[in-house]
Amino acid sequence: MPGEVPVLEAVLTQLFAAAAVSGQPAAYIVARGLHLKAIVRPSGKKEVLLWRTQDRFPSGKECDIVARDGGFVEPKFKPWLCEGIDGFHLRDLADWQNSCTHTWGSVLFLDGKSESGTSRTCTRCNTTAGTMHKRRGKSTVFLYNEHEVSEATYVLATVTGPMPSSLDVAEKQRLRQEALDELRPSLGIPLPTLTGQVCATCRHGTPDRELIACNLGWPFHDPPQPNAYNPRTKKADIEVLLGHPGVPLPLLAPHTHCMAYKNSWLPRLAI
């Protein structure tokens, strides 16, 4: 069905959302007895523990699928003891806090015997992105820096996404500052006046570099989503929340008029 959210992707999105709100790990058991435990660090970094109660590890394919559907861009697996049982610890090496607003070069078209696709490189940070299509299949593989990612993550990351982890911190900061400088008003054009119900004058807003972080969180900004189909109950009862990997709070320009639901803007308290 067009637009349908894959079940595992929906489950992981819900687990991460629950972990972010409660500050505690959120667990679930999926097909073939695979245990998942989602963790969201205060920095917004996501992690997953995978294990089985039976005497066998999760397969490499299962680990790759969890990483893809969990929104991981540069996954790293490590053997881990999960509740007394051998399993894996999954974390993301991608640095979403130092993202690049990509400037893509020319698209390279790939054409092989069994598959075809596209590839392109960011002229700013050398990130690579591409798609691959099996000639006898109907699915598309989305690649970001040579790692398979979900379509939703690909769409997000190819606009503003993590730079290659091979870049050192100083180079990442230089590229980020360069992008910010390009966004600053030029030719003497003044910034919009901060009047009315805008983020910079809201009680829920916290300055984050040149932006404002809305402490109301994503539930107040994302539109309601239809539930995903659950093959166990044969009903659409898996709640779907939009994913924002590495971005724990909405970030908006200071002069943005309130976009939160329920008319949530409140004036800052006088000191």
Q: What's the rounded mean pLDDT across residues 53-79?
A: 89
- The pLDDT tens digits for 78-95 are 998 888 788 999 999 888
pTM above 0.75, yes or no: no
CA distance 75 to 85: 22
32 vs 271, which has greater pLDDT? Answer: 32
> Where along the chain do its domains lie?
7-93, 97-183, 199-263
Lowest mean pLDDT among 24-33, 137-146, 188-197: 188-197
pLDDT of res. 3:
40
Angle between helices 60-69 and 7-22 (to 10 degrees): 70
When pLDDT is cut at 50, 70 and 90, the band that residue 4 belongs to is: very low
Looking at residue 1, its pLDDT comes to 31
Taking residue 136's Cβ as centre, other Cβ atoms within 10 Å add up to 6
Cα–Cα distance, 105 to 246 (Å, whole number): 26
pLDDT of residue 131: 93
pLDDT at 45 over 70: yes
